[in-house]
Amino acid sequence: MTESSTTEAAASGDTGTSPGVESRYGAPKRRISAKSQRWMILGALLLALAAMIYFTVGNAIGQITHTDVGYTIVSDTEAEVDFQVTKDFDATVQCMVHVLDNSYAVVGADIVTLGPQDGSNPEDRSQYYSTDVRTESRGVTGVVDSCWDAD
């Protein structure tokens, strides 16, 4: 060590041994208090709950669902298909109804248009419908293939 570096080391409080941990790595980080950790966990849980509610309610509104209820094979050229559709009250929906034979081939099809409906309770969004479908040959089942928003 030269004389000037010795004076600088003495002035800075360094004795010339090894540099201190603080000068090498910086000041130690402060720990988060237990109270702050609890508030952060509570905030994260509330945020997750709010997101779950938002996505659950958001997916239920405006969603169109359909369920097959039953069918009646009236004759070799006709079948009746009963189904349930859940939609918004003011929505106009179209559903594709198929009649299938024993090899799952489509022997009859019909597009049913379902207009706006009255109601105010969420349970009123679901309505039962029935449609007659003309067929090319005798069917063995009737199903709703899909429903979509016609607006």
- N- to C-terminal Cα separation, the chain: 86
Domain ranges of the chain: 31-60, 65-149
Is the pLDDT reported for residue 14 higher than 60? no
3-state secondary structure string, 26-42?
A: CCCCCCCCHHHHHHHHH
Q: Which has the minimum average pLDDT: 7-11, 38-42, 65-69, 70-74?
A: 7-11
Is the pLDDT reported for residue 11 higher than 70? no
Task: Encode pLDDT of 20-51 as tens digits.
Answer: 767 777 777 788 888 999 999 999 999 999 98
What is d(CA 63, CA 137) in angstroms, rounded to the nearest whole number?
A: 34
CATH of 65-149, picked from 2.30.180, 2.40.50, 2.60.40, 1.25.40, is 2.60.40
